[in-house]
Amino acid sequence: MEYIRKSIYTLPEIRRTLLPLWSAWALTAVGAVCGAVYLMVPGLTVGGASALVGGVIVGACSLLLTLCYYLFGDSRRPYSRELHAVLEPTYAYYAAERQAAVVAALEAHDEKALDTVKRQPTPELALVRYSDKEERVYYSQLTRVEGKRYIPLTDIIINKTK
């Protein structure tokens, strides 16, 4: 699955979308408010120096958590510039003997023919498709499943439906 995720970003109309920057700033502001509350409550602090150190520690931890969430969180998803939409993955599994029918339907951009190919619950072949919610476009790739590895059998095939 990682292969299509990496290769879809090479397309010129796709870019990575991160969480909006305001979400990172909002989380940092919450940390700053917690630090200010720490400074204001007299029972939590002994002196001015320890209050300052405590506020800095709370603010720094909040900033560090914000940066980790922003950079490494599950916020990176493909975004179509043309459609102004985030693309979500879907998966369909097929038997190995159905490979020719699936590839033919993908290359012909025939969604009805692809729907008629019989699916199965256990993966031998996996069709990974990224599309927007309205399904105006599909970025598809057929892969062979070997254990936990997905080996690409086709390049990314773009199918615009509307």
Q: What is the pLDDT of residues 12-23, one digit of tens each?
A: 888 776 556 566
Q: Where are the domains of the chain?
A: 2-14+79-160, 19-75
Instruction: Give the residue with greater pLDDT, 57 vs 72.
Output: 57
pTM (whole model) above 0.75: no
- Please say whether the dihedral angle defined by the alpha carbons of residues 49, 53, 58 and 60, taken in this order, is positive or negative: positive
Dump pLDDT digits (tens) for 35-45. 667 666 666 55
- What is the pLDDT, as a whole number, of residue 20? 60
Task: In whole angstroms, give the CA distance from residue 27 to residue 69.
Answer: 10
Task: In whole angstroms, give the CA distance from residue 7 to residue 5.
Answer: 6
Structure tokens belonging to residue 89: 């993955």
Arithmetic mean of pLDDT over the chain = 78
Dump pLDDT digits (tens) for 43-59. 655 555 666 676 677 77
- What is the pLDDT, as a whole number, of residue 75? 54
Tell whether the model's pLDDT for residue 73 goes beyond 80.
no
Q: What is the mean pLDDT of residues 68-86?
A: 72
- E strands, the chain, where? 14-17, 77-80, 85-86, 88-94, 125-131, 137-146, 149-152, 157-160
